[in-house]
Amino acid sequence: MAKVLVIAEIKQGVIKSSTTELLSKAKAIGAETAVVAIGSNIESLIPGLVSAGSDTQYVADDPGLELFSAGPYASCVVDAAKQFGANLIWFGFSESGKAVAPRVAAQLDAACATEITDVTLHGDQIEVTRPAITNKVMQRVKVNIEELVAVVRAGAFEATEGITGTENVIKLSPPAPDLKAVIKELVSDASGDIDLADADIVISVGRGAKDQAGIDLVKELANDLKAGFGSSRAMVDGGFMPHGKQVGQTGKIVAPNLYMAFGISGAIQHLAGMNGSKVILAVNKDPEAPIFNVADYGIVGDLFEVVPILREEIKKIRT
């Protein structure tokens, strides 16, 4: 029977939904499941790990693991994988996952695949599906050894309703400190906003917002939806938005499930930063604006009129 070890994604003390999604998939292919959780003071998360669908929980709980560091994290995963005898090791799609996965694969002498969207098992034969040639094609890859470390593309697997696991906690001994790199501090985006790259929904504002009042208006909608808030280059150039919030060719390149563009005409420099989004909604006064060429939904109108209505309607749906 296949044994799947899922690396729990924990951010600010919360287990992210990807962990459940990955465990659900593992159960769906009939595998035995385990989860590995790494951090400091994470005992309280164990029930959550169980309910996420794991049958064994490897916990590396040590003050030295508070801040992410690829080397020690990889040792923990390797330790858990060996104890569990895992043949499939899955990471959620995150920067940390991408950093740890190849290290684990190298240490275990396993295959490594990134951005997979599906896994199938034919006996011992593992087959994965992943995009290639900038998402132009999907390739199915047969893995010709028995262990695979994979980074799963965000949202590729769905969580099964009512999934449960069993509690079987195994403590891992803390890894030896990493001599190559010592993490001294974690500097996060001072704005405290939702990270654009992580956000499920990204709302961006462009020249159509005119000034700070316009930006604030759209920002409220972003807050309602807990969306990442970005902007086109024009607003950064105009000094209204910080450079870190620029979506586009020379700024952040995002691909959320929903991208909402307010008052953005859709110059090619901007499109290059967001046209990988799953669903695009555009609001612009100019029906000729190129943004409508890439938008799935478009509203021709002034954002100052549209945003309040949208907020109102969203509120209604929610209550």
Partner 1 sequence: MNPLLISLLIIVALSVFGRTMFGKIQLLKALEPADRVNHLKERLMNMVILAIGQKRLVGRAKERSSGIMHAFIFWGFCILLIRSLTLYGEGFQQGYHLPFLGGDYLLGYLYVALKDIIEAIVLLMIIFAFFRRAVLKPKRMHNTFEAYLVLGLIGILMASDLLYDGARYNLIQLYNNPGSIHYFNNPQYGSEFLWTPISVAAASLISGLGVDANTAFLTIMFWLHICTQLVFLNLLPLGKHFHVITALPNVFLKSLGYPHEKPKLLDLEDEAAWEDESLGINHIHQLNWKQGLDLYTCTECGRCKEVCPTYTTDKPLNLHEFNDKLKQELLENADNIIKKAKLSSTIEQIEDSAQIEKLKEEINALNSKKQLIGEVIAEDTLWACTTCRACEEVCPVAIEHVPRITAMRQGQFLMAEAYPKELNPALKGLERNGNPWGIGYDKRADWAEGLDIKTMADDQNVDYLLWVGCAGSFDDRSKKVTTSLVRILQKAGISFAILGIEEKCTGDYARRVGNEMLFQMMAQENIETLNNYNVKKIITACPHCLNTLKHEYPPMGGDYDVIHHAEFIDQLVQKGKIQLKQSLAGALTYHDPCYLGRYNNIFDQPRSILRSVSKGVLKELERHGRESFCCGAGGGRMWMDETIGKRINLERSEEIVRRQVSNVAVGCPFCMTMIEDGMKELGREEEIKTMDIAELVEKDMA
Q: Residues in contact with partner 1, total (CB under 8 A)?
A: 24
170 vs 197 by CB, closer to partner 1: 197
Q: Residue 177: what residue type?
A: P
**If residue 297 lies in a helix (H) or strand (E), which one and from where to where?**
strand 297-300
Least distance (Å) from partner 1 to the CB of residue 269?
8
Contacts of the segment 237-243: beta carbons below 8 A, 24+ positions apart:
238/207, 240/209, 240/211, 240/212, 240/215, 241/205, 241/215, 242/191
Give the amino acid at 303: L
Q: Please state, in angstroms and rounded to a whole number, the distance separating the CA atoms of residues 96 and 16.
A: 13
| Segment lying near partner 1 (by CB under 8 A), choices 38-46, 54-62, 130-138, 217-225 | 130-138
- List, as one string, the DSSP characters of 214-253: HHHHHHHHHHHHT-EEEE-HHHHHTTSS-GGGBBSTTSB-
Q: Which of 109, 123, 136, 161 binds partner 1 (CB under 8 A)?
A: 136
Site for partner 1 in 196-225 (CB under 8 A): 207
Residues 228-287 that bind partner 1 (CB under 8 A): 233-234, 237-238, 243, 246, 249-251, 253, 266-269, 271-273, 275
Question: CB neighbours (10 Å) of residue 124?
Answer: 9
Instruction: Choose which of 44, 134, 144, 188 interacts with partner 1 (CB under 8 A).
Output: 134
The helix/strand count (H/E) of the chain reads as 9, 17
Q: How far apart are CA 22 and CA 125, in angstroms?
A: 19
| Contact with partner 1 (CB under 8 A) among 290, 300, 302, 304 | 290
Smallest distance from partner 1 to CB 240, Å: 11
> Nearer to partner 1 by C-beta: 126 or 254?
254
Q: How far is the CB of 139 from partner 1 (least distance, A)?
A: 15
Q: Which residues bind partner 1 (CB under 8 A)?
A: 133-134, 136, 207, 233-234, 237-238, 243, 246, 249-251, 253, 266-269, 271-273, 275, 290, 293
